A and B are shown apart, each in its own frame.
Chain A
């Protein structure tokens, strides 16, 4: 990893932690921020997929799929951003639905890894964690403050893992 890549990874993670802290301090008032963060992350995922298409997969057999994926993600991102004026209850339902979907994908991935005799426990734990958070959020549906705090803690956990991974060793010696 180059110095710049390391720096960007740490900076990005610190920003997400900052957002999470703001969410926790604002709690119930923080829904517009969550929608903003989530909508933009989907939007930029779409942009990144389109970037991948134009720089890489346009040269690949069947690469047009990335073009369609990018457009779809941008569409979903814009849709999410448009949710700012609807009741918080629906926003929370939407977010927990997405979290549950992520959890199921993680669990399926972990089961695949297990079949390949790979490391699956962490991934399984993440999947189960996401499903648990989804249920916790549903349980606290009438208490939006608590649900926001649970969501923010998830963001902090992911960011810390990314920061740790940025400090891994990188050089290799070549002796001719």
Chain B
């Protein structure tokens, strides 16, 4: 998903869930920040590098793909952008290594989504925004895994857009992929940019939906393709439907996080609350544009009657930079960083507990004490502060 959905659509969902304009803007800011909180940004604000929730192209191009490098990449992408749907799904006659990768395939309504939303409860608006990003991406990025893997994320040349025509019929239009990242996607000609085929299992080109380009990120796109893992069965990815589900699930989850609903359950959507806006929302999602920020912004502003400030990464930088070491955790970026560390830690723990080491090791603190990356000590300090 792009910034249009993560920022403006999240704002709209938060407002519909009952948050104020300011709170909704804050949640939307943090939801969008997930795509921009890279090591380069954290280095700039002198923050803990382990809290990275995304990687720049330049960081990825230079990333190591040995075991440690892969675990680092997987912790980032599987925790925040490709949340695994089912860590225990059955797949027969395959090696353990294949099964481990298969279990990281992203999808909506998994157990980890419930864990993600529950983890954010009571942790502030920053954690809520972060959780909404993860939730929305489970819909957009379904069928791809947040780890470099040829055998899971590769696609072949069978790609077709199922475009709805004005007369109501559906046309099957072939999609072609170029590999020059500078070239813009041509929606009319069906020419898109995707990552280059690399025969190496661990190549960074095989991370997430790279091989399918930005198709999963476009709300209007309905397409048919053959994923590497699907045993030659074509899949129809219906983004307009998925994006609408994502929006209505966000409204439901945000009500839970706000405290107006007691439990968060899978496969539940608040279609009632958004019923009167359904047509408008679907119309925005179906708009054939690579960036629908303007449409979502207008919708959000029509709901609250307030102007939504454009997203700027630097908004809370000064606050964080000027805070003393003790005060940093009470700043917006400080709380976001803690939420990111907690999410990464939780997902790594769940994956490790499923006997899958693709995200690295999770150490039982009660048995072994603190070990590993020192950045995560902040979570321990936070827990101790709460207990005082």
User: Please, which residues of chain A bring their CB within 8 A of the CB of B196?
Assistant: 112
- Please name the 7 residue pairs, one residue from A and one from B, whose CB atoms are nearest each other, closest first: A118-B61, A171-B372, A119-B62, A174-B349, A174-B362, A55-B95, A173-B376
Interface on B for A, CB 8 Å cutoff? 57-62, 64, 66-68, 71, 75, 94-95, 97-98, 150-151, 154, 156, 180-182, 196, 199, 201, 226-232, 342, 344-346, 348-349, 352, 359-365, 370-373, 376-377, 379-380, 383
User: Please, which residues of chain B bring their CB within 8 A of the CB of A57?
Assistant: 150-151, 201
What are 23 A-to-B residue pairs whose CB atoms are below 8 Å?
A1-B68, A59-B231, A61-B227, A61-B231, A112-B196, A116-B58, A118-B59, A165-B66, A168-B68, A171-B361, A171-B372, A171-B373, A172-B75, A172-B348, A172-B359, A173-B370, A173-B373, A173-B376, A173-B379, A173-B380, A174-B376, A175-B383, A176-B349
User: Counting CB contacts under 8 A, is A56 at the interface?
Assistant: yes
Q: How far is the CB of B188 from chain A (nearest CB, A)?
A: 25
Q: How far is the CB of A72 from chain B (nearest CB, A)?
A: 12
A 156-171 binary contact with B (CB < 8 Å = 1; else 0): 0000000001001111
Interface size for A (C-beta < 8 A) is 32
Across the interface, do B199 and A69 meet the contact criterion of CB distance under 8 Å? yes
Across the interface, do B62 and A5 meet the contact criterion of CB distance under 8 Å? no
Instruction: Point out which of A55, A120, A171 has the most chain B C-beta atoms below 10 A from its C-beta.
Output: A171
Across the interface, do B67 and A61 meet the contact criterion of CB distance under 8 Å? no
For chain A, residues 82 to 117, give those with C-beta under 8 angstroms from any C-beta of chain B: 112-113, 115-117
Given A59-B231, A116-B57, A174-B348, A169 and B376 touching (CB < 8 A)? no
Across the interface, do B151 and A115 meet the contact criterion of CB distance under 8 Å? no
User: Please, which residues of chain A bring their CB within 8 A of the CB of B364?
Assistant: 174
User: Please, which residues of chain A bring their CB within 8 A of the CB of B370?
Assistant: 173
Across the interface, do B154 and A61 meet the contact criterion of CB distance under 8 Å? yes
Interface on A for B, CB 8 Å cutoff? 1, 5, 52, 55-57, 59-63, 65-66, 69, 112-113, 115-120, 165, 168-176
Q: B97 touches which one: A56, A61, A120, A165 (CB < 8 A)? A: A56
